[in-house]
Amino acid sequence: MTEILKGVDKVTFEVLRHRLWQITDEMAIMLKRVSGSPSTAQVHDFMVALYTKDGEILSGGFGVPWHITSASAACKHVAKKFASSIHEGDTFLLNDPYLAAIHQSDVYLVTPIHHMGKLVAWCANFVHVTDIGAIDPGGFSPRATSVFHEGMRFKGVKIVEAGELRTDLFDSIIGMSREPGMVALDLRSQIASNNVAKTRVADLIEKHGWKTIRAVMKGLIDFTEKGFRARLSELPDATWRTVQHIDILGKGYRIPLAMTKKGTDLLFDFEGASPQSPRGLNCTYWGALGGVMGAVFSLLCFGFPWNEGALRPVTVVAPEGSIINCRYPSPVSISTVAGTISAANGAITTISKMLGSSDKYSHEMLAVGNGCSCVIRQAGINQEGAYYVSGLWDWLSGSSGARSYADGVDTSGGQAGIMTMMQATNIESTESTYPLLYMFRGQSADSGGPGKFRGGVSGECCFTVYDAPEKRIDLIISGWGVEAAASTGLSGGYPGSSARFAMYKASEVEPLFKKAKITTDLVGVKAKVEELPPQWAGELSEGKYMYLRWAGGGGYGDPLERDVELVRADVEEELISKDAATGIYGVVFRDGIPSVDKRATLAKRKILRSRRHGEKIL
């Protein structure tokens, strides 16, 4: 094992390992401080990382993990394209999804780090900028049918040259956005973040010498690769399969995944994926790779630095022209939360199946949670009379999939149940900033996929316009998972609930709100309900109430094996309904407070089991 640390003092290695994480931590802090936008500072829709001079991942920091690999591609592209014209003090901007970025809204800023005039490393970050000048405000464009509808696209430009901001370019870029002021802040925070990394890495080289740092960089990557491979070698060689379904516009897209582990290598093969969509759900290869690697980092690389070493044993194959690897110029603006999440979901499932074939690692299994996106963007005139574009992040309250030893975490933040750093905003901050009023926001009973261990529950919310000068705003929805169930379970566990988008029109009855009583749930509300497709752009106006429920977490194991006491507690805590307790879990209650009728439960479970025999009932 010692050969991976050739020429490096082990103590220095440990000191520097810690220090590199600290540097990415500082990059994240700088993004949040300078930007101050809800999306960056509160929701944490960003990523920071360090790369070697060849663009290999050196230290993937805090943030959305699918971008760690894409920003690596960005560094590699810039390194190649600009080659001899890369100078100290330059910073490059790139957001072309066909080159590296996953969709245009996630703008990459890539900065070379020099030592004694020689390129030695890169740092990079992205934030989801407020508006990218696409056909729909906010960057996720359900109406786009080509990448040309999806806003400005850069293949790499010097936004900072020799330490000087190129104001001509900067002004042109922000001028293409509906929100120039906010985008200017976004970009400034990104420049500041990379500047911090640049200074810190330079200080580190100054102190320890380039030779040591170079050896440590190599050592860290080798360490992760070695550790990851050692873990893989403890698991059986096999192929594990799963399938994800993206269902929109009356069409279903299949994304099957076969993951093969052989020796210490992992192959993720999306063979059989549906042809690309005319809408922006597609992802480019970078999205598929990022989605897979997000799962690899989170589920297989705990305890190791997240770097290129995790990538070396992994191959990702995605058929060209498919929804998981689309051809230029297909639209991709929704890719981060469609193609990419589905790739992550698939990888989470196949990896967990692999972990489940080992006594040593089965406690590391995770079913998919919050498996499909429920992105909502809003735009209009706010209560101050100003035009704005922004998001709504309630769905990032999330839900996590079940584990082999415990339930999934309820409303646990983030996408796909692994991105624990993403989070929702307060209703009070939403209502004070945007012309909206919430009827309710709560956890959604029965949303967690049933199982021996249940998936974490998701949540639901409902809101209307309020104090809006125009009595309306635009809403843009880019979700999926309404017809299918994206949060698949494990070991027989059922999937978490589907998502739901609906518009309640109260015009036919008294406006819900004006009657001294405001509705706090939608039970018994006599309004016309329109189920919305998950890709939708329209308006929210007075008398209309937008309802959203995001997807629950997948379950683990046979629901009839669930501890009766846990079922009772779930009913008491309003996490499952009595109907589900009896119908799915076979637990029967006496009247009144949930007290379990043990004998009836045994009998009920026996009946439910006896109905399990082969037969197609559809």
Partner 1 sequence: MRLSEYVEGIGTGKKLRIRCRSCRKFLSDSRRHWKEKVPHKEYPLKRAGSLMSASTKYVLREFYCPSCRILLDSEVVEPGEPFLLDELKS
Partner 2 sequence: MGYSIGVDVGGTFTDCVVISPDGSIATGKSLSIPDDFSEGVINSIKVAIESLGEKPHKILPQTDYFCHGTTVAENALLTRTGAKAGLITTRGFEDTILIMRGKGRIAGLGEEAITHPVMTDKPIPLIPRKLIEGVLERVDYKGRVLTPISKREVSTAIDRLKKQKVNAIAICLLWSFKNSSHERFVKETIHQMDPSIFVTTSSDLVPVEGEYERTATTAINAYAGPVFSSYLGALTRKLRKNGFKKQLLVMQAYGGVLPASVAVERSVGVIESGPVAGVIASQFLASKLGYQNVIAADMGGTTFKVGLIRSGTFQYANEPTIAQYSMLTPRLDIVSIGAGGGSIASIEPLTGTLRVGPQSAGAKPGPICYGVGGEEPTVTDADLLLGYLNPDYFLGGRMKLQVQKTMRIFEEKLCKALKLDPLQAAEAIYRIANSQMADLIRKVTIERGEDPREFVLFSYGGASPVHSCSYAPELQIAKTIVPATSSVYGAFGVVTSDVIHEYLLSDHLTVPAEPGRVSRIFSDLEASARDDLQADGFGSKESTISRLMEIRYRRQVHQLPVPVPQKHRLNSRDLAQVYADFEQLYETTYGPGTAFREAGMEIVHFRVRAVGFARRPPFVKTIGKANGGKASASGRRKVFSEKDEAFVMTPIYDLKGFKPGNKLVGPAVIETPVTTVVVRSDQSAEMDGYRNIILTGEEN
Is residue 552 part of the contact set for partner 1 (CB under 8 A)? Answer: yes
Residue 36 or 469: which CB sits closer to partner 2?
Answer: 36
Residue 414, contacted partner among partner 1, partner 2, none, CB below 5-8 A by kind:
partner 2
Residue 517, contacted partner among partner 2, partner 1, none, CB below 5-8 A by kind:
partner 2
Which residue shows structure tokens 């000068």? 469
Residue 485, contacted partner among partner 1, partner 2, none, CB below 5-8 A by kind:
partner 1
Residue 178 or 245: which CB sits closer to partner 2?
Answer: 178
Q: Least CB distance from residue 247 to partner 1, whole Å?
A: 7
Kind and range of the H or E run holding 377: strand 374-381
Q: Considering only residues 353, 377, 562, 568, which one is a binding residue for partner 1 as defined by CB under 8 A?
A: 353
Residue of 583, 591, 549 whose CA lies nearest to 567: 583
Task: Return the residues of window 257-286 that contact partner 1 according to CB under 8 A.
Answer: 260, 262
Instruction: Write out the two tokens for 237.
Output: 């060689």
CA pseudo-torsion sign 225, 226, 232, 237: positive
Residue of 421, 299, 310 whose CA lies nearest to 367: 299
Is residue 441 part of the contact set for partner 1 (CB under 8 A)? Answer: no
Residues comprising the chain, all counted:
618
Is residue 323 part of the contact set for partner 1 (CB under 8 A)? Answer: no
CA pseudo-torsion sign 409, 412, 417, 420: negative
Burial class (CB in 10 A: 0-12, 13-18, 19+), 226: middle
Residue 142 or 369: which CB sits closer to partner 2?
Answer: 369
Is residue 240 part of the contact set for partner 1 (CB under 8 A)? Answer: yes
The pairing of beta strand 265-269 with beta strand 314-317: parallel
Rounded distance, CA 162 to CA 325, Å?
A: 36
Q: Least CB distance from residue 130 to partner 2, whole Å?
A: 9
Residue 327 or 429: which CB sits closer to partner 2?
Answer: 429
Residue 77, contacted partner among partner 1, partner 2, none, CB below 5-8 A by kind:
none
CA pseudo-torsion sign 191, 193, 197, 200: positive
Instruction: Write out the two tokens for 348.
Output: 């989470």
Residue 449, contacted partner among partner 2, partner 1, none, CB below 5-8 A by kind:
partner 1
Instruction: Write out the two tokens for 569.
Output: 């507690």
Is residue 388 part of the contact set for partner 1 (CB under 8 A)? Answer: no
Rounded distance, CA 46 to CA 60, Å?
A: 12
Instruction: Write out the two tokens for 33.
Output: 């401080």
Task: Return the residues of window 465-504 that contact partner 1 according to CB under 8 A.
Answer: 482-485, 488-495, 497-498, 500
Q: Least CB distance from residue 406 to partner 1, whole Å?
A: 13
Is residue 247 part of the contact set for partner 1 (CB under 8 A)? Answer: yes
Q: How far apart are the first and last CA of the chain?
A: 57
Give the footprint of partner 1 on this chain (CB under 8 A).
236-243, 245, 247, 252, 254, 260, 262, 353, 356-359, 362, 404, 444, 446-447, 449-450, 452, 482-485, 488-495, 497-498, 500, 549, 552, 556-561, 577, 579-580, 584, 609-610, 612-618
